[in-house]
Amino acid sequence: MNDWLRRLLFLPEQASTIARDMDSLHYFVIIVTMVGATAVAAFTLIFIVRFAAHKHREKSAAPDVRHGYTHGGIPVWLELFVFGGLLSLFILWWVIGFRQYARFVEPPPNTLQIYVTGKQWMWTFAYPNGAASNGILYVPAGRPVTLVMTSRDVIHSFFVPDFRVKRDVVPGRATTVWFEAPAAGRHHIFCTELCGVGHSTMRGEVVVLAAEEYERQLEGLERVDLGDPRASSLAAAGERVAARRGCMRCHTADGTPHIGPTFAGLYGATIPLEGGQSVIADVQYLTSSMMDPAAQLHRGFLAVMPSYQGLLSAAEVGGLVEYIRSLRDVQRAEPQSPAPQRTDVPIVTPLQPEERR
């Protein structure tokens, strides 16, 4: 039945673990909508025939005064059943859709993170081991994969029809999407946000490989260019980016407090914010903190960090996130607060020449 309905509605193959669930909701909505439309058409025809037969009446019939009936002679319970059924149907759609969204928006633990950059008019990919590819995304079969995506220029949208995943890719922000492809295969990538004259050519491909073949494929790819060909992984390259871009002037990697929060144990931690709220230090928070540090300020620290918007490449952002992620098991000093005796250390903004070397 699933395959028959998929072909009837001209849907592509179901190549991810969430694709069939997405399509099931689609089938449900389409079938109920068509049944409802047919019922409305049938009742409309009945009313036309019924009232056309009485068009020569001089006046309309008197209101129905029976208890439990409307003035038109329809049982009240029937009207309540119809309206209650429609409301229940709407709530059912919402519940199913919300459960699917909750499952889709939160990736499983320990997923493979791959960094995606959209630019006019191509996709580039950076892998945790420091490898990189253009236009072709390599993923292992049977393992959840989280894509951390950003744009170098305008808004794009990453869409893999076979996986039923689509997410906007926004400049200066990190958006994420995850999927799991259970079997090897090749699947098309499209950009579904008009991004310029070459929008229709902004295509790519997902190549799903068996685990052993995936590892061999990554070994044969070029390395991410972050200015240090010696880096053995994206996290190692990110450590050098942190030193070169001046991050370590204010942050530490060993858990000791300084002008800014330590990187040790930061990834995945609950961060108290000025104003009383809190946030999980995930990819979105870390990326946002680089681009707009004052938007979600860590409680107890001064708003002295400059914005790196436009100064860090997407690969550098990915390297920094991976570096911070690699320190998540390092013990943090609690509570996190700046060290007063060192707040007189001069802060060099990324706009000054020494930061650009």
Q: Is the pLDDT of residue 353 over 50?
A: no
Q: What is the pLDDT of residue 209?
A: 94
**Residue 283: which of 245, 327, 324, 238 has the closest Cα?**
324
User: For residues 19 and 6, is the Cβ–Cβ distance under 8 A?
Assistant: no
Task: Specify the amino acid at residue 137.
Answer: L
Give the model's confidence band at 16: pLDDT under 50 very low, under 70 low, under 90 confident, else very high: very high
Query: Model-level pTM greater than 0.75?
Result: no
β-strand partners of 76? none
pLDDT tens for each residue of 143-193: 999 998 888 889 999 999 999 999 999 887 788 899 999 999 999 999 999
Tokens of 175: 């958006």
pLDDT tens for each residue of 198-238: 999 999 999 999 988 998 998 888 776 665 555 567 888 88
Q: What is the pLDDT of residue 230?
A: 58
Rounded-to-integer distance, Cα 174 and Cα 295, Å: 15
Tokens of 60: 């309309």
Rounded-to-integer distance, Cα 139 and Cα 112, Å: 9
Tokens of 210: 């068996």
